[in-house]
Structure 1
Amino acid sequence: MLKVQNLYLCYPGQSEPIFKNLTFELKDGELLWLTGPNGCGKTSLLNCISGIIPQRIKAEFKGDIILNDLDLNPIPINERFRYLAYQMSDPDNQIFFPRVEKELFFALENAGLTIKEMKERIIRATEDFGLQDFWETEPGKLSLGQKKLLVLAFCSAQDTPLYLLDEPTSALSGESILKVKKWLKNLLSNGKMVIMVEHNPDLGSLANQILDLSK
C-alpha cells in the first residue's frame, strides 16, 4: 500500500502552494489516474513520490510518503529504483547509453540480479513492447514512440511494487497503445500499484481511483 499524507509543495517564488494537505491511499493492484489542467501539479506529484522533489528540484516540501510501511522521504533518489519505477513524459531525459541492450541492463545492474535473471527480464520486457529486434540499435535513432516504449520496457524490467507513469501513450500508435494497456492490466493483476498521468480515456478506464488535482 502507498500512503501519501498531508503533502505540501510550494516552488520558490510562488505565493500559492501546488499542494496543501494532499492525502490519498493506493492499495496493491490499484491504478490511480491523475487528472486536471496543465500546471495543476500532476507531474509535480510524481516528482515528489520519486524523490526528484526536493532532492533534485528544490522546493518547500512537507508530508509523508509511505510505501508498504517504508518511509520513502529519507531514501536517496538513486536508491528508490528498488521500490518504484518512473517513466517521465520526455524519454530523452532517461536515455543515456549507446545501445538499447545496455540501456536495459543498466536499469537492473544494481539490483543484485544474476546475468541470467537480467536477460530473462529484458527479453520479456522487450517482447511486451515490440522491441526485441532493437537490442543493438542506438536509442537516439529510435522514433519518439519507440523511445517511450524503451523507457516503459526498463520500468517493466525493474519489477517494482510501484509504477509512476507520465503520459505513457503520447506519441504512440494504436498498436503500441494496445501493448501498453495489456501491460498495465498485467501489472495490476500481479498486485502492482500504478499512478498515471494520461489523456487517453481508454487507459483511464483501468483506474480504480481518479484524483482531480484541479480541485
Structure 2
Amino acid sequence: MLQVQNLYLCYPEQSKPIFEKLSFELQEGELLWLKGPNGCGKTSLLNCISGIIPMRIKTEFNGTIKLNNIDLNPVPINERFRYLAYQMSDPDNQIFFPRVEKELSFALENAGLTIPEMKERILQASKDFGLQEFWETEPGKLSRGEKKLLVLAFCSAQDTPLYLLDEPTSALSGESILKVKNWLIKLLSQGKTVIMVEHNPNLSSLASQILDLGL
C-alpha cells in the first residue's frame, strides 16, 4: 500500500505552493490517474515520490510517503528504485547506453538476480513492447515512440511494487498504445500499484482513483 500524507511543495521562485496538505492512499492493484492543467503539479508529485524532489531539485518540501510501511523520505534515490520504477515524460532523459539490450539490463545488474533471471525479465519486457528486433540497435537511432517503449520496457523489467508513469502513451501509435494498455492490465493483475499522468481517455477505464490537482 502507498500512503501519501500532508505533502507540501513550494518552489523557491514561487510564493504559492504547488500543493499543500495533499494526502491519498493506494492499495495493491490500484491505478491513480493524475489530472489537471500544465503546471498544476502532476510531474512534481511523481518527482516527490521518486525522490528527485528534494534530493535533486531543491524545494521547500515536507510530508510523509510510505510504501508498504517503509518511509521513503530518507531512502536515497539509488536505493529508492528498488521500490519503484519511474518513466519520465522525455525518454531522452533516461537513455544512456549504446545498445538497447544494455539499457534493458542495466537496471537489473545490481538487483542480485542470477543471469538466467535477468535474461528472462529482459526477454519478457522486450516481447511486451515489441523490442526484440532492436536489441543491438543504438537507442539514439530509435524514433521517439520507440524510445518511450524502451523506457517502459526497462521499468517493466525492474518488477517493482510501484510504477510512476508520466504520459506513457504520448508519441505512440495505436498499436503501441494497445501494448501499453495490455501491460498496465498485467501490472494491476499482479498487484502492482501505478500512478499515471495521461491524456489518452482510452486508458481511463483502468483507473481505480482519479486525482485532479487543478481543482
Q: TM-score, normalised by structure 2?
A: 0.99
| RMSD value, Cα | 0.4
Quote the Cα distance in structure 2 between the aligned partners of 1:42 and 1:4.
14
The percentage of counterpart residues that share the same residue type is 83
Q: Deviations over 1:27-61 (max 9, x none)?
A: 00000000000000000000000000000000000
Quote the Cα distance in structure 2 between the aligned partners of 1:34 and 1:162.
15
Q: Deviations over 1:180-199 (max 9, x none)?
A: 00000000001000000000
Runs (4+) off by over 3 Å: none
Q: Deviations over 1:77-113 (max 9, x none)?
A: 0111100000000000000000001111101011110
Quote the Cα distance in structure 1 between the aligned partners of 2:92 and 2:179.
21
Question: SS state of the match for residue 117, structure 2?
Answer: helix
Question: SS state of the match for residue 125, structure 1?
Answer: helix
Q: Equivalent residues in 2 for 1:104-183 (5 A)? A: 104-183=104-183
Shift of 1:205: 1.6
Quote the Cα distance in structure 2 between the aligned partners of 1:62 and 1:19.
11
Quote the Cα distance in structure 2 between the aligned partners of 1:110 and 1:36.
37
Quote the Cα distance in structure 1 between the aligned partners of 2:78 and 2:56.
11
Question: SS state of the match for residue 118, structure 1?
Answer: helix
Match of 1:2 in 2: 2
Match of 1:78 in 2: 78
Q: Equivalent residues in 2 for 1:5-154 (5 A)? A: 5-154=5-154
Q: TM-score, normalised by structure 1?
A: 0.99
Quote the Cα distance in structure 1 between the aligned partners of 2:179 and 2:16.
40
Shift of 1:203: 0.9
Question: SS state of the match for residue 148, structure 2?
Answer: helix
Q: Equivalent residues in 2 for 1:198-209 (5 A)? A: 198-209=198-209
Quote the Cα distance in structure 1 between the aligned partners of 2:13 and 2:103.
37
Q: Deviations over 1:127-156 (max 9, x none)?
A: 000001111000000000000000000000
> Unpaired runs of 5+ in structure 1?
none
Quote the Cα distance in structure 2 between the aligned partners of 1:25 and 1:199.
22
How many correspondences in the alignment? 215
Quote the Cα distance in structure 2 between the aligned partners of 1:2 and 1:93.
26
Match of 2:214 in 1: 214
Q: Deviations over 1:158-206 (max 9, x none)?
A: 0000000000000000000000000000000010000000000111221
